[in-house]
Structure 1
Amino acid sequence: MSILHNTSHQQRCFTRKYTAECHGFFSPMATGPCGTETLVFRLHESTPEVVREVLLERGWEEHDPLERDQGDWNLYWRTSGFRKSDYQNVLPWQRLNHHPNTMCIARKDCLVRNLRRMRCTYGATLYGFSPTAFILPNDYTRFLEEYAKSRLGPGGKRGYWICKPVDLSRGRGIFIFDDIKHLTYDSPVIVQKYISNPLLISGYKLDLRIYVCVKSFSPLTIYTYQEGLVRFATEKYDLASLDNLFSHLTNTSINKFGPFYTTDKERVGQGCKWTMGKFRTFLHSQGINELLLWQKINNIVTLTLLTIAPSVPSTSNCLELFGFDILIDSNFKPWLLEVNYSPALSLECPADVMVKKSLVNDLIDLMNYTVIDSLRKGGNLHQEQKHPYSSSRRSLMPQTPLVHLIPKSVYERKLLNQSSNCYRQFASNECKLPAIHTHRVESSCQRTQERNIPSLRVGDFILTFPFNDVTRKASQGTLDVKTIVREVRKLKSQLRSSQARKENRKKERNGGTAAIKKNLHLCFGVLDTHIF
């Protein structure tokens, strides 16, 4: 299956190639420069096929236990967590796709407990982005009190609740109810207030899958992918039919079996997914300035990860890809629904192909492979690194400017695919997510040379934390959560003030198109001109 990309992405690939050739950095192709060996990947049996496909396209070789030593590899990818010994024995040229002790954030009851603890410590104003939730059976009495309050509220308004098994995924076991007599369960569940006023497009409910990469927990370094997926229910939203999962749930694993999945639905189209770029184009078509919305989502990501960051052991050469599921309500408030560990990377539709293949490519780029990583059996290097936790050990944080490459074989194929009619029909008129930082984002030729300062952008991954010098210093050594939370509060206040000023200026200009376009360019980078 081919990789489909837009013109800006092709230009970025050329920039990577040019910068690499200028500075002599390593492009991990099969032949290898100066006789270096090929980079080798090792996959667990349940690894999504797209990971193998991307790595082979980049010129890697798959680990063969009959031909190579057990530890003769550069990347080990699993959908489940690694053993403690895997982290203890990892060598400088090796990477793991999980940090230790991060799986708990994806278990619904653990997430509820952690967010509840942070809400009690730092207040509901800051941590009010998750619906009120109870863990049953332990919180059953507290749930009854809240349920009674909602029934006796102003006007006796009916409240809606959603029940989810704590340890299941893909929408399994979920149901919605408005009367407690319908609440039944035979295993631990969480019961949350159901957001009954979701944002709808032509009557269809949707949520956002935001891809987040934590490159390091010490220092805390978070990248958010500027593309992503928008997932739709396949039947129109209707509170009168709470038992219709095709109307209320957006999980692809459920909706692909719905009777209207292949139907060309009004504005949504066939299937149940958009790319984030297409969603952003929709927001612009409605006259919505989404900068504040995206920054709210970034804050949700940071504040959620702060719930586990202090307890994650400091381990080099690991990174973690999370999938944050965000619901936007009719007031454009984003709500955190859940966090996914090893988010699904299956390719089931054109939107999946566009987003996930590039996502895996850029994730590999974030791993900072260089020429020396291919010398797995080099005598001096091997002897020097027998003790992997020595102080001289190189981590994923760049100490010299690194260029993140996609090999020639891949970017040439991307250019060939640009002319694909399928792509033009699907991806035309789409926009990118805004650059997270309002200050200038450096190009690949301007990467910082200061040690332990991460690049602001790697491919389509945008650095969202740290977002200033104070948060960078607070994430060094022992994580200073209080200082980080204080800076997030300041950022929220500044964004609100900035947004109010922009709205006032916009009114004064009477909607001057040229000025609006200039402001959006400063915030988001180049936009598709058709919007204006």
Structure 2
Amino acid sequence: MPAGMARGLEESGSSSEEEEEEEDPGDEDHPCIRWTGGGCRRIPIFVFHADAILTNDSYLRLIGERYHLSYKIVRTDSRLVRSILTSHGFHEVHPNSSDYNLMWTGSHLKPYLLRSLTDIQKVNHFPRSYELTRKDRLYKNVSRMQLSHGFKTFHILPQTFILPAEYQEFCSTYSKDRGPWIVKPVASSRGRGVYLINNPNQIVLEDNILVSRYISNPLLIDDFKFDVRLYVLVTSYDPLVIYLYEEGLARFATVRYDQASKNIKNQFMHLTNYSVNKKSGDYVSCDDPDVEDYGNKWSMSAMLRYLKQEGRDTAALMASVEDLIIKTVVSAELAIATACKTFLSHRGSCFELYGFDVLIDDTLKPWLLEVNLSPSLACDAPLDLKIKASMLSDMFTLVGFVCQDPGQHSSRTVYHSSESVRRSPYQKLQFPLGLTTYFRKKW
């Protein structure tokens, strides 16, 4: 099981002794607790273990139960999140309850709910995260950065137009370079409503659709097109703190790639979404969690090993991927940081797990396809469970839940620091020169 890491915490302000949890001597060396601070200001931070969902060990539930830690799930259904939390002694409360340590929700919160969060409560979305996850807002934000910092510096998206507003510009570009092009609704996911065209007349004009240049030279493995799902965790927007999980998923099309225009409508050839290709009669699943390079879904590390054996520079590839992730998040940083400052009472209230979908072309250049607000946590194969359970467990540890009964409202204020309490498979990304102070301000 990959080790986890929780962020260190500091406290400021006063705290009344009658509101403090009484420490149990047995907590000191418990595997689900790490202590931060010192002296009378020691704070217990919860540590998660991915194997808890398999072992059903009552000892790993002890701390969660003792501190009456709780969660609620709103407008979504994530069995894996529920399984990880309950296996660590967290209990689920009613969606209307205000006594919880974590709210896991499938949508953004209303401003009044964000303002009501206490210093120990966390929610899994930042306000205005749609600046990254709506395709039209992502395009607008990256385009603005291209104007400010140069097109080449932020050339991370294929050439894109928003229709119908930019229809004439698209037609002018098409007359010079016919494509093919790919059409996407601005707010859809899982490949819904996506299709390829090689003539503007094939577009069904609707409000707010994107037309992007199709990357016709994708990197292939065994003649199949694939993309990579990367898990990116943002724990703060001011200052901006981004982590990239060390593992991801490579998702393959189910029909061998052929650039011929006669195949333009074959979604099983051109789209790599799992939700699309699982409907193909050629989809191959793997039932062995220890086999990561078989079928239509591989681990990212297996894909990188394959490319390295083929003589590809995977270190340079991943450096380019990290650069792409940083620039993508930075493009929306100001809007989201401003919303956090406006709507949050405590700067550590929110975190966000994004699903970055990246396509690699045959020159090893990564292209951003989209950023997913709530990446799928479904476990349809053993490899899914192996990767996603570890990823979520380490994410929850890294976010840093204070071991405190949410029903006991403390008067202390808890602030986050970057102290690492154990090694994490999440890599904290380093900002490229010129971007380290971009829109960086004190809270």
Q: What TM bracket, shorter-length normalisation?
A: 0.7 to 0.9
Residue 169 in structure 1 maps to residue 189 in structure 2:
yes
- For 2:436, give the aligned amino acid: T
Deviation at 1:289, TM superposition (A): 2.5
- Asked if 1:280 corresponds to 2:304, the answer is yes
Is 1:295 aligned with 2:319? yes
User: Map of 1:26-425 to 2, 5 A cutoff?
Assistant: 26-27=45-46, 29-32=60-63, 36-64=66-94, 70-151=97-178, 159-240=179-260, 241-262=263-284, 269-270=294-295, 272-312=296-336, 313-314=340-341, 315=344, 316=347, 317-371=349-403, 374-378=404-408, 381-382=409-410, 384=411, 393-395=413-415, 397-398=416-417, 401=419, 403=421
In 2: Cα distance, 1:174 partner to 1:339 partner: 15
Range with bigger deviation, 219-228 or 287-296: 287-296
TM-score of the superposed pair, with normalisation by structure 2: 0.81
Give SS of 1:144's match.
helix
Provide the C-alpha distance between the structure 1 equivalents of 2:94 and 2:156, rounded to a whole number of angstroms: 46
Q: In the superposition, relative to structure 1, how do residues 263 and 364 fare at CA in structure 2: closer, same or farther (>3 Å)?
A: closer
Question: Which runs of 5 or more structure 2 residues have no equivalent in the other structure?
Answer: 7-28, 48-59, 287-291
| Distance change in 2, residues 1:90/1:467 (3 Å) | farther
Does the 8 Å contact 1:220/1:465 carry over to 2? no
- The gaps in structure 1 that reach 5 residues or longer are 152-158, 386-392, 404-443, 445-456, 479-532
For these two proteins, the number of residue pairs brought into alignment is: 389
When residues 161 and 203 of structure 1 are mapped into structure 2, their CA distance, relative to the original with a 3 A threshold, is same
Greater helix percent: which structure?
1
Measured after TM superposition, the shift of residue 342 of structure 1 is 0.9
Shift of 1:262: 2.9
Inter-partner Cα distance in structure 1 for 2:78 and 2:166 = 37
Flag the 1:91–1:225 CA change in 2: closer, same or farther, 3 A: same
Alpha carbons 1:223, 1:464 under 8 Å: kept: yes
Structure 1 residues 11 and 64, CA, compared in 2 at 3 Å: closer, same or farther? closer
Deviation at 1:21, TM superposition (A): 8.5
Q: 1:78 to 1:19 in 2, by over 3 A?
A: closer
In the alignment, is the contact (CA less than 8 A) between 2:353 and 2:373 conserved in 1?
yes
CA distance in 1, matches of 2:285, 2:248: 23
User: Cα gap change, 1:11/1:167 in structure 2, threshold over 3 Å: closer, same or farther?
Assistant: closer
> Aligned-pair distance for 1:475?
3.3
1:382-531 to structure 2, matched below 5 A, reads 382=410, 384=411, 393-395=413-415, 397-398=416-417, 401=419, 403=421, 444=422, 459-466=424-431, 471=436, 475-477=440-442
Matches of 1:109 and 1:467 in 2, distance apart? 25
2: CA distance, partners of 1:11 / 1:82:
28
State, as a whole percentage, how many aligned pairs show the same letter: 31
In the superposition, relative to structure 1, how do residues 30 and 194 fare at CA in structure 2: closer, same or farther (>3 Å)? Answer: same
Indicate conservation of the 8 Å contact 2:131/2:141, yes or no.
Answer: no
Match of 2:10 in 1: none
Letter in 1 for 2:202: H
Residue matched to 1:522:
none
C-alpha displacement of 1:473: 9.7
Structure ranking higher in strand proportion: 2
